[in-house]
A = this chain, B = another copy of it.
Amino acid sequence: MTVLETQGLAAKHAARILAVAGTSAKNAALEAVARQLAAHSGEILAANRLDLEEATGMRPSLVDRLTLTQARIDSMVEGVRQVAALPDPIGAVTKMETRPNGLIIGKRRVPLGVIGIIYEARPNVTVDAAALCLKSGNAVILRGGKEAFHSNQALVRVMRDALEESGLPRDCAALVMDTSRESAAELMNLTGYLDVLIPRGGAGLIRSVAAQAKVPVIRTGEGVCHVYVDSEADLQMGAEIIFNAKCSRPSVCNAAECLLVARGIAADFLPVAKAMLDTKGVELRGDPEVRAILGESVTPASSGDWDAEYGDYILAVKVVAGPEEAIQFINGHGTGHSEAIVTSNYFTAQRFLDEVDAAAVYVNASTRFTDGFEFGLGAEIGISTQKMHARGPMGLEELTSSKYVIYGTGQVR
């Protein structure tokens, strides 16, 4: 047995105990995790400093994500307590009926089992993912980026001690200690131990996991999102929505990457939109029609721009004939994440909702709302862009499976 298989087996055993642990026991463990993380913040910050010392040459935005402070630890602790306060999804019987032969058949919500999380250098994911898995009764194997190794090791050690203190198995949460590429590949192929693998991070990580993994994967967070401004739109509303969708936080997956504008209002709308986007210095990459209207200051779009997830203050802009072309373009170039139309026409709105194939389809609102908290799920482990199992923001319920429980009195068939 490899080290990872040994961890997998331990997680599987822990998962069986956790699956039947009950809400009070899980909440007590989460409270112990919160308390111990707060009590050991000095040790965690010291470990984080080791990571930061080794982070020479790292981009400032990545260093920022890697950095822990007392305030950030406080916020992690608060996050764990918020997860404890959420309703427990496990044990609910979502339907139950008595069949003609007298069998009583119920469908009970149960944990998935063992969940693997592969992520990059964000230590907050370590605590956040562990808390969500614990609350939903799943054991978790965490495989964070090597840049955050010391921080993750300290965080997981504290959490495992807290689990043990609360009477649950330490192995409900485990960290992959080998941060090589080989260990990531092994985790992706740990069939027989992992029930699901969720990659959290950039598009490169997610595609690599989806391409290599033999265990079931939930693809999350790939977002080439569009805003289509229809010829019957309120132009001011259209400009405010694309401005918000692009600029409020360009690095996240629900930010817009492409603006589609109906030909009928392009000459009126584009200057209004550009004036707002200019205030944030957004680089526009337009097709010839856009450049004919806005001028040569707009970069000519190349074919790669129509499929790009910039994650930055860059926006592709294209003129389309109307809703039909917009829908076709979105279904051809989108990643099935979040798509929006701005229109005052009822029928055009309904058609867009029906025909656009994405996790979240908006009428007259910014794509930036696709998020577990905004959708009222109370928490989020990621935003699924696949259709199997879960689609859109994934909360605690999306970390569960089901089991049929059947009460008989001797029935045979």
Contact = CB atoms under 8 A, between A and B. Distances in A.
A286 interface: no
Given A369-B103, A406-B362, A413 B374 contact: yes
A404 B366 contact: no
A1 B19 CA distance: 47
Contacts of A121: none
6 contacts: A112-B388, A196-B387, A241-B412, A359-B404, A391-B403, A391-B404
Contacts of A331: 16
Given A105-B376, A113-B357, A388 B196 contact: yes
Interface string A12-32: 000010011000000000000
A99 B405 contact: no
Given A244-B412, A412-B240, A388 B387 contact: no
A67 interface: no
A363 interface: yes
Contacts of A191: 210
B355 A20 contact: yes
A175 interface: no
A374 to B, nearest CB: 7
B365 A103 contact: yes
A389 interface: yes
B388 A401 contact: yes
Interface in A388-413: 388-389, 391-392, 401-413
Given A365-B407, A391-B401, 16 more contacts: A97-B376, A99-B374, A99-B375, A103-B365, A103-B374, A195-B386, A195-B387, A195-B388, A216-B386, A244-B413, A358-B403, A365-B406, A365-B409, A369-B406, A369-B411, A392-B402
Contacts of A405: 353, 361
A67 to B, nearest CB: 25
Contacts of A354: 20
B361 A406 contact: yes
B103 A360 contact: no
A258 to B, nearest CB: 18
A125 B151 CA distance: 53
B99 A364 contact: no
A191 B410 CA distance: 46
A113 B387 contact: yes
Nearest to A111: B387
B360 A406 contact: yes
A214 interface: yes
Given A196-B387, A413-B369, A403 B359 contact: yes
Interface string A224-248: 0000000000100100110111001
Contacts of A3: none
A45 B261 CA distance: 56
A214 B386 CA distance: 13
A365 B408 contact: yes
A368 interface: yes
Given A389-B389, A404-B360, A365 B411 contact: yes
A406 B360 CA distance: 7
A364 B196 contact: no
B368 A403 contact: no
B357 A19 contact: yes
A356 to B, nearest CB: 8
A196 to B, nearest CB: 6
Interface centre among A19, A240, A244, A364 (most CB of B within 10 A): A364
Contacts of A218: 388
Contacts of A20: 354-355
